[in-house]
A and B are shown apart, each in its own frame.
Chain A
Amino acid sequence: MSTSANQWVWWVVLVTACAMSELTRAGEPPSESLPPGSSSRDGFRWLGSPSCSAQACHGDLKPDGTFPRIWGNEHTIWIEGDRHSRAYEALFDPLSKQIAEHLKLTAAHEAQECLACHAPRDALARVDHVAAAGPLILGEGVGCEGCHGAAEKWLEPHSRRQLSAVDKSNLGMHDTKDILERARLCAGCHVGSPAAGGQPARDVNHELIAAGHPPLRYEFATFLVKMPKHWTEERRDPTDASRIDSGFEARVWAVGQIVSAAAALDVLANRTGVEVAAAAKTVAPATAHRVELDQPWPEFAEYDCFACHHDLQHKSWRREGYAKRGPDQKTLGFPRWGTWYYPLLANLLRTKPRAADGDVVDPLAPLAELRALMQSPSADRGVVSAKARESSRVLGSCASTLSRQSFDLAEVERLLLTVANRPADGDTDHWDGTAQVYLALVALRQAHLDLLGKPSPDDTALVPLLRLLYDELQFTQAGDMRSGRRYDSPHEFNPEKPRDPLREIRQLLKPRGPLDHER
């Protein structure tokens, strides 16, 4: 087929699909109202991964090479090496039993709040629980449809032709190739999401952590690298699909940062209990804060874990660090809010979107206001809820822009430098912030290498510095190990220590910083 004929076919497909999508979208709730990770179309049935695992489809023992885009052994990789396939099984662990006991749940594997992440499926599947597919779907933990969407409508078509993004959207298949959508899907469980679309809230709150659940310290790029891949990353440049996106790793990191932050803000809104209470018509949102809501408040999971969770020390860096903080951080004796999801947003959001009237808006302004609110143990739930939603909306729109923005060499080098320089407000003098800096540098370094297309002359020097930073972040340090102690918190951490490797990293990056590039 000639090139022009090929283009003609694509145009037809595209136009038809657009029209179709307009039709099917009419009268449906906007997809934003659904939590990420849940089925995008209510009522589509989950079929279970046995529908995918035929040897001829995705259950081969090794890649069969028949189709370039399909390995053929996706299901096998998932079941053999991917921990998502053990998510339900984990609910039978002694730890899960302990958690259920502390939270006064009958059993973790029966509690909706646990199943929401450990065996996600839509409302209909739950009704089908007794039906043949029900227990199977539960047992597979986070199975194929947990990420790719309920397969009822797309199972058959997707085996015959390549579905377009629009097709996928209509048929309930999540476009996991799209980094933004993928990030939102993952964040649905790995950050959490409010109750919506028949799903209970997914929330690892402080009660759950105290009962024994590991805290969610989620960073999209890192988790994606760690996941046993069952797909080929296409790395298409969003601005020009014919080009390879060499800045892909930076894009993944950036999108992950913003999407996670937005998801965390939605979780915060949910944690206030105001929306839920308003939905239940028990209180009007405006007066909700005056009513005693049963949700824990302050919700300690919103704050720096290690601000409180450290053995008391006589001479503490925490105290000295406090003196250097900005005025909005000055709440002595109260932990700092939002240390995990938000410290690097200021580095990332350089370009500020313009408001309708042409004014430059600071996308982080609502977040700063929220921070001021959250630095009090008796923050007004109603105000917090509204501000968190506003902040999430603004960041959500930034995420769309960012996912299509170019991550070229100049931008990646700018990011490397600014991240290594740590935010101007000094708000990374905690483990969370330093860990985020480290994870960002690792992702950005990879993007940098990819963009250069050859080993960087300074990369050899950079690796051991990153290693130093990594070592400083270890919970159990060599000294603790020797005395037979294992910690799950940064017992020996001191934010002064990473300053040296970070300074050296900056010196390495400086000669090829943005200024040099412009010259």
Chain B
Amino acid sequence: MSHALSLKGLRSPDFPGAGRKCRLRWLHCALITITCAGRACAQDASSGPQYIGVTECARCHEKAGTLDEQSGATKWVRLDEFHVWFSQDKHAQAFKLLESDLGRRIGELLDLGDVTKRAECLSCHCDQRPGGIDLGDFNRQQGVSCESCHGPGEKYEKLHRVSAWRKRSAAEKFGLGMIDVRDPRKRTRQCLSCHLGNVEQGKILTHAMFAAGHPPLPGFETETFAQSMPAHWRYLEEKDGSVRNDPEIKKLLGYKDGDLHAVKSVVIGGVESLRVAIELLEAQAASQTTKGGWPEFAQFDCAMCHHDLQVPSWRQVTSTRPMPGLPGLRSWPGVLVDLAIRHAHRGNDETAKKLAREFHLAWTQFHDQFTARPFAVKREMTKLDEARSHLAELIETLSDQLEEAAYDRNDAAKLLRDLCELGNRPGHDYDSARQIAWAFKAIYDAASRVEPFEQAAATGTTLGELATALHLELSATQAKQILAELPIALEAVGNYDPTRIRALFAELAKPLAANRKP
């Protein structure tokens, strides 16, 4: 049911095995019989390119040798990617978390038995896909490794060793299983498949898992999260001049002079996250209502229920839901859409305003399908489908417009002003405010590297206050363990004071206004 629905309106998810061909095959299946999502998923994992394991990658990507320097390969790639990932990146420890005390405890409480053997845990904690070929203990123990993000290597592993590979288009590479993580849309999808969820890939966090002790999923701003990783990559502007200035390469990678990749990533990622969230909701609602498991509380905003009570409370003042007393959907995945609309229609305020209103209406209609009384009933799929396809169309158009837009230093300055205005609006929850603050910081840092802003010290102070209040610091390095960070992160959620955050965004706007050229 879920795959039949996702054919309409939404762009097909960009992961191997879910390409057009596969989709048609699914449609065929759906016509013959309404198969469950799980079966489609199993078919997908066994029919697409297969995972080959990290040792294959490590052969070349552990350390650059003299030969690599001589051949000019290192002008392109660092060739120490595996080493950086293995020795510094937390993703490498993802499987070990399953073996930890907490992992064991979760398994006990959920009656799952050994979580290191359970498909629902392995799907995110390593490269083992439900229904995919058995990777073996060693490969599973490597956690989230190369192929988790770059795609299963079976078909491209040999091909991508030669320099001609670089001249192939992203679409061509994708056909062979490689995912274009340079593309902000695809990167966001790829990260969010675990960091938010993906029903087709069996990456589903349930409320029972959270209740058993799985740490909550924080909001996810792709650029900020990517920057918090120990970088095992170089952006084009960081590569050797011979590569950086090659017009063919630039064209192939869609690189425009003056564009700041971080700025582009924030804006596009901020729209893509909503698309992922909608797909997830829809897929889960569709599969769960049939099984009677809806509402799945994990699909709703955690803090909307999970907060200590205080009277008076900002929650009771800012509620915008149809009726009080029901949980609402997460709002962070879509909080930056307004920013993107303004950016895509820069110079045309009227159109931007109209579109923003239209989007808001479409989102509300979609949202209300999940939060209207009586709540725990089978959603009306037709109504939901209508609301969703309208929303999906708006997102699709916007997303395409954003591909064409410019992301230079001036655009960054404008975006920063927009973000201050957005952050100063009433009604944001903690995760949304955090999303806006992350976006601000990522764009501000990128733009400052090109040309520093005036009154940078004042901005720095305010950003520091925001960073503390919203716990903006992230680290995907092995030095910072999630369980050590969690108490601090959760305390920040409990202490969230929207009035103060709004004031800080108002404060951020002041030096930016001074920067504005007459």
Identify which of residues 371-389 in chain A touch chain B, using a CB-to-CB cut-off of 8 Å.
Answer: 377-378
User: What is the CA–CA distance of A466 and B319 in the complex, to the nearest angstrom?
Assistant: 40
- A319 near B211 with CB under 8 A, answer yes
- Once the chains bind, are B374 and A295 in contact (CB under 8 Å)? yes
State how many angstroms separate the Cβ of A429 from the closest Cβ of chain B.
15
Closest to B316 in A: A212
CB <8 Å contact, A377 and B376:
yes
A487 and B309: CB pair below 8 A?
Answer: yes
Could you tell me if A487 and B310 are in contact, using CB atoms closer than 8 angstroms?
Answer: yes
Contact B326 A296 (CB under 8 A): yes
Please measure, in the bound complex, the distance between the C-alpha atom of A314 and the C-alpha atom of B293, giving whole angstroms.
26
B306, A310: Cβ atoms under 8 Å?
yes
B201-224 interface with A by 8 A CB criterion: 206-213, 215-216
Task: Say how far B15's CB is from chain A's closest CB, in angstroms.
Answer: 28
Q: How far is the CA of A206 from the CA of B323 in the complex (A)?
A: 10
Scoring B residues 12 to 41 as 1 if CB is less than 8 Å from chain A, else 0, what string do you get?
Answer: 000000000000000000000000000000
Residue of B nearest to A483 (CB): B495
Inter-chain contact A310/B213, CB cutoff 8 Å: no
Cα-based distance from A314 to B494 in the complex (angstroms): 12
Is A467 an interface residue, CB under 8 A from the partner?
Answer: no
> Could you tell me if A298 and B376 are in contact, using CB atoms closer than 8 angstroms?
yes
User: What is the bound-complex CA distance between A212 and B316, given in angstroms?
Assistant: 7
Interface status of B307 (Cβ within 8 A of chain A): yes
- B residues within 8 A CB of A332? 109-110, 208, 211-212
Partner of B375, one of A298, A309, A314, A323: A298
- Check if A309 sits within 8 Å of B306, measured CB to CB: yes
Give Cα A489 to B306, complex, Å.
Answer: 11
A297 B324 Cβ-Cβ under 8 A: no
CB contacts (< 8 Å) of B108 on chain A: these are: 323
Contact A314 B308 (CB under 8 A): no
**A476 to chain B: closest CB distance in Å?**
10
| Complex partner residue of A323 from B109, B307, B490, CB under 8 angstroms | B109
Q: Does B493 contact A (CB under 8 A)?
A: yes
Question: Which residues of chain B have C-beta atoms less than 8 A from A314's C-beta?
Answer: 215, 483, 486-487, 490
Q: Please measure, in the bound complex, the distance between the C-alpha atom of A297 and the C-alpha atom of B375, giving whole angstroms.
A: 6
B325 interface neighbour in A294, A300, A312, A319, Cβ under 8 Å? A300
Tell me the complex Cα distance, A295–B323, Å. Answer: 12
> What range describes how many residues of B lie at the interface?
35 or more
Any A CB within 8 A of the CB of B294: yes
Q: Are B324 and A311 in contact, with the CB atoms below 8 A?
A: no
Q: Are A489 and B309 in contact (CB under 8 A)?
A: yes
**Residue in B closest to A292 when the chains form the complex, CB atoms:** B377
Q: Is the CB of B210 within 8 A of A491?
A: no
With a cutoff of 8 Å between Cβ atoms, the chain B residues found around residue A309 in the complex are: 305-309
Q: Which residues of A contact B324 (CB under 8 A)?
A: 102-103, 207, 210-211
Q: Per-residue 0/1 for A137-162: is the Cβ within 8 Å of any B Cβ (1 yes, 0 no)?
A: 00000000000000000000000000
Whether the pair A292, B493 counts as a contact (CB closer than 8 A) is no
Assembly CA distance A103 to B319 (angstroms): 11
Counting chain B CB atoms within 10 Å of each CB, which of A314, A323, A334, A486 scores highest? A314
Q: Is the CB of A312 within 8 A of B306?
A: yes
Q: Is there contact, CB below 8 Å, between A333 and B316? A: no
- B67 at the binding interface (Cβ < 8 Å): no
Taking CB atoms, residues of chain B closer than 8 Å to A6 are none
Chain A count of residues within 8 A CB distance of the other chain: 42
Given the interface contacts A308-B306, A312-B306, does A296 sit within 8 Å of B375 by beta carbon? Answer: yes
Within 8 Å CB of A296, what residues of B? 323, 325-326, 373-375
Q: Which residues of B contact A102 (CB under 8 A)?
A: 316, 319, 324
Listed residue (B206, B215, B308, B311) with the most chain A CB atoms within 10 angstroms of its CB: B308
Inter-chain contact A312/B326, CB cutoff 8 Å: no
What CA separation (Å) do A312 and B306 show in the bound complex? 6
A211 touches B316 (CB 8 A): yes
Min Cβ gap B303→A in Å is: 8
The reply to whether the CB of A286 lies closer than 8 angstroms to some CB of chain B is no
CB contacts (< 8 Å) of B294 on chain A: these are 377-378
Name the B residues within 8 Å of A295 (CB-CB). Answer: 373-374
Decide if A312 touches B373 in the complex (CB within 8 Å): no
Do B323 and A207 touch across chains, with their CB atoms under 8 A apart?
A: yes
**Interface check B197, CB cutoff 8 A:** no
A313 within 8 A of B: yes
- CB atoms of B305 and A311 under 8 A apart: no
| Contact status A312-B316, CB under 8 Å | no
Measured CB to CB, the nearest residue on chain B to A305 is B309
Instruction: State A471–B212 Cα separation when bound (angstroms).
Output: 29
Bound together, the chains give a CA A420 to CA B217 distance in angstroms of: 40
User: Is A322's CB within 8 Å of the partner chain B?
Assistant: yes
Q: Does B302 contact A (CB under 8 A)?
A: yes
| CB-CB contacts below 8 Å: A249-308 with B | 273, 292-298, 300, 305, 308
For window 203-223 of chain A, which residues contact chain B by CB distance below 8 Å?
205-212
Complex-state Cα separation, A273 to B377, whole angstroms? 14
> Closest residue to A291 on the B side, CB-wise?
B377
Inter-chain CA distance A207–B326, complex, in Å, is: 8
Judge whether B53 is part of the interface by a CB distance below 8 angstroms: no
* A313 to B324 alpha-carbon distance, docked (Å): 25
The 7 closest A-B pairs by CB, nearest first: A210-B325, A333-B211, A311-B494, A210-B324, A489-B309, A207-B325, A333-B207
- 23 residue pairs A–B, Cβ–Cβ below 8 Å: A103-B324, A207-B323, A293-B374, A295-B373, A296-B323, A296-B373, A296-B375, A297-B376, A305-B309, A308-B305, A309-B308, A311-B493, A312-B216, A314-B490, A332-B109, A332-B212, A333-B206, A333-B211, A378-B292, A378-B377, A487-B310, A488-B308, A488-B309
Extra A-B contacts (14), CB below 8 Å, given A211-B325, A292-B374 = A207-B326, A294-B373, A294-B374, A296-B323, A296-B326, A297-B376, A308-B305, A312-B302, A319-B212, A332-B212, A333-B207, A333-B209, A377-B295, A486-B310
Give me the interface of B with A, judged by CB distance under 8 Å.
108-110, 206-213, 215-216, 292-295, 297, 302-303, 305-311, 316-317, 319, 323-326, 373-377, 483, 486-487, 490-491, 493-494
